[in-house]
Amino acid sequence: NMTLTVLKISHLEQLNSKIFAWLSNIFSRLKIEHLIKQIGISYAQISHKGTTISPIRRRVHDKRGVRLTNG
């Protein structure tokens, strides 16, 4: 009876750990996407293939509001 209780607690702790890691990962991605939007970077060109990231473009506007891009 005591062994079964200990096993259940252990299982719940492992599950809790996995859920926490998953949530941390999700929130980290959301924060990064929010920051990218805040600074005006088009992240459609960002490649997630390994560690390679293709060049990205920043949205720049002149005084009249005409959109310019660098790169």
Same domain, 4 and 21: yes
Same domain, 29 and 4: yes
Instruction: Give the integer Cα–Cα distance in Å for 60 and 57.
Output: 9
Same domain, 30 and 54: no
Instruction: With 0.85 as the threshold, say if the pTM is over it.
Output: no
Instruction: Give the integer Cα–Cα distance in Å for 67 and 7.
Output: 61
Same domain, 10 and 31: yes
> Hey, is 36 helix, strand or coil?
helix
Instruction: Give the integer Cα–Cα distance in Å for 16 and 2.
Output: 21
Question: Which residue range forms the structural domain that includes residue 60?
Answer: 43-71
Q: Terminus-to-terminus CA distance in the chain, angstroms? A: 67
User: Does residue 24 carry a pLDDT above 70?
Assistant: yes
Same domain, 34 and 1: yes
What average pLDDT is seen over the chain?
72
